[in-house]
Chain A
């Protein structure tokens, strides 16, 4: 026999749950409830569970307690916890391919929207383009200068030590300048864009999707790609060359600081850079920057438009935008390297 006294509320039930189950053992039990003044639904769950054992009985329960026990006793057990679905490697690869093809299709859709722009000029918001250019470009300048300077400093310092052993320390200026202007400038600017702006595009458009603003645009006959995606992509393509040049200049400044510290006058460093960096290096980097801007912004916007349901989906979209933007940039950089090699640049 198990005797309950006092009031059985949620906190008290939590304390005695294990002991009550243990004391009741595995067989039938008699519940003596005449001294039980009351209970809430949590207490009633415990009592109902004990009373439901075969052969068990209840004595002296007050009507309110009995009514609650009867009520909770009619409710079935909780569902088993969900099992995470397993995905084979093949399915994962197929999913990745489909996502990549979807990205290409989206870029195609954006190009089509651009071609149709003259007919849909009223749907294009120039103010959005300027606002995005301000957020993605002007406001990114301090971070770009900081990262560029540090990158130049680090590259120069790390190269200076081993090259000095061969008496080639003056060529550190050439190495850093060519690395920055051909590769690292556009690449790092794209990483900054993906981290700062691509994720913001995904979160902003994703929130609009969750709150049905995209549906509202569609039902008004307004193309979301023209109104939301094109201004962002064009703004990113506009600001990326500027960010790239700023990053490269900052990097060269950082390198110059190290070289001056190593005893070389700035004019010598300037001559080295001017002799070795060709116009095609600079313009090749700028061309890459424009393409990276379009791709990073496009991936961010696509992640936003593909947002699912619920607040978690917005976070997932922002993550997809950053990861997708960085991966796509590096893959494209590899393709550009092959292309420039073929062109003899």
Chain B
């Protein structure tokens, strides 16, 4: 595993807003081809760390390299080699689903329009939305919007996909379908996934490794295989998270 190239390298990053520290000294290496989950309770900084990795929020300290490029110095063409699914989908409301998926293909490839449409249709088909190409984002459900957002993130077949809370607010069946989609894409295309979530079932279903942040500790409290973390007697917050129980301090209160 150690021989695989790194897809994302996070070196000692910290984030503070004003004087409020969200987390500090977070480091991790995400390898190509793995499904890596960033997890933790609400407000621990999961989405903030994701925004740092994808180049939307410069860290207060530290460095982030994605596919070998420093996200805040010289990005090169890295933005055409990553795909991002935002929590609410962030589909363009004035375009149909097909047009949403076609947009990156039209901008970054020389494919003729009919080929763009065909490829976009295939991406929608891969996420189970083959019959909804003409639908507008406002006309579909939240789960469908998330799947359409994954199709758009997949448009250029990027080797690295970032998913922010893909299962949040979805029913268990749809959520399980999304988990299976992630595993299928990893198997068929070798895509690396960085997933931010706190859905325990999803974490155990898809993650090769995970990184757990904690609001009280303002940083990383665990890293590794989530199945092992669940079994090991480690940090009380980690145990409480994986066993869905109140932490001792809170329980005593």
Binds A, one of B21-29, B91-99, B160-168, B212-220: B91-99
Is B17 an interface position by the 8 A CB rule?
no
Collect the chain B residues with CB atoms within 8 Å of residue A311's CB: 93-94
- Asked if B118 and A77 make an inter-chain contact with CB atoms under 8 angstroms apart, the answer reads yes
Q: Which residues of A contact B47 (CB under 8 A)?
A: none
Contact A76 B134 (CB under 8 A): no
The residue that B98 contacts in the complex, of A71, A72, A79, with Cβ under 8 A, is A79
Interface residues of A in 44-93 (CB under 8 A from B): 44-46, 49, 64, 67-68, 71-72, 74-79, 82
Mark contacts of A1-24 with chain B using CB atoms, 8 A cut-off: 1 yes-contact digit, 0 otherwise: 000000001110111011000000
Residues of chain B within 8 A of A79, CB atoms compared = 98, 121, 133-134
CB of A43, distance to nearest CB on chain B (Å): 8
Instruction: Tell me, yes or no, whether B111 is within 8 Å of chain A by CB.
Output: yes
What is the bound-complex CA distance between A74 and B119, given in angstroms?
A: 13
A42 lies within 8 A of B121 (CB): no
Is A14 within 8 A of B122, CB to CB? Answer: no
**Given the complex, which residues of A lie within 8 Å of B136, measured CB to CB?**
310
A interface residues, tally (CB under 8 Å):
32
Q: Which residues of B contact A342 (CB under 8 A)?
A: none
Question: How many residues of chain B have a CB within 8 Å of chain A?
Answer: 33
B62 at the interface (CB under 8 A from A): no
| Binding stretch for chain A, among B36-44, B51-59, B123-131, B175-183 | B123-131
In the complex, which residues of chain B have a beta carbon less than 8 angstroms from the beta carbon of A75?
121-122, 125-126, 130
Q: Chain B residues near A78 (CB, 8 Å)? A: 98, 117-118, 120-121, 133
Minimal beta-carbon separation of B184 from chain A (angstroms): 9
A312 in the interface, Cβ–Cβ < 8 Å?
yes
Instruction: Check: A41 CB closer than 8 A to any chain B CB.
Output: yes
Q: Which of A49, A67, A310 is close to B93, meaning CB atoms less than 8 Å apart?
A: A310
Q: State how many angstroms separate the Cβ of A242 from the closest Cβ of chain B.
A: 39
**Cα distance A46–B118 in the bound complex, in angstroms:** 9
Q: Nearest residue in B to A76 (C-beta to C-beta)?
A: B130
0/1 string, B153-173, CB within 8 A of A gives 1: 011110000000000000000
Name A46's closest neighbour in chain B (CB-CB): B115
Residues 129 to 183 of chain A near chain B (Cβ within 8 Å): none
B138 → chain A closest CB, angstroms: 4
- Taking A13-B111, A41-B189 as contacts, is the C-beta distance between A76 and B125 under 8 angstroms? yes
Closest to A315 in B: B94
A-side contacts of B157, CB under 8 Å: 9-10, 40-42
Asked whether, in the complex, the Cβ of B138 is within 8 Å of the Cβ of A310, the reply is yes
Is A71's CB under 8 angstroms from B188's CB? Answer: yes
Set B98, B118, B134, B156: member contacting A10, Cβ < 8 A: B156
Does B96 lie within 8 Å of A42, measured CB to CB? Answer: no
B112 at interface, CB cutoff 8 A: yes
Looking at B110, B117, B136, B137, the one whose CB has the most chain A CB atoms below 10 A away is: B110
A sample of 25 inter-chain contacts (CB < 8 A) reads: A10-B105, A10-B111, A11-B156, A14-B105, A14-B111, A17-B112, A41-B119, A41-B154, A42-B105, A42-B111, A42-B157, A49-B118, A67-B188, A71-B126, A72-B125, A75-B121, A75-B125, A78-B117, A78-B118, A79-B98, A308-B138, A309-B139, A310-B94, A310-B136, A312-B94
- Going nearest first, the 3 A-B pairs with the smallest beta carbon separation are A75-B125, A14-B109, A40-B157
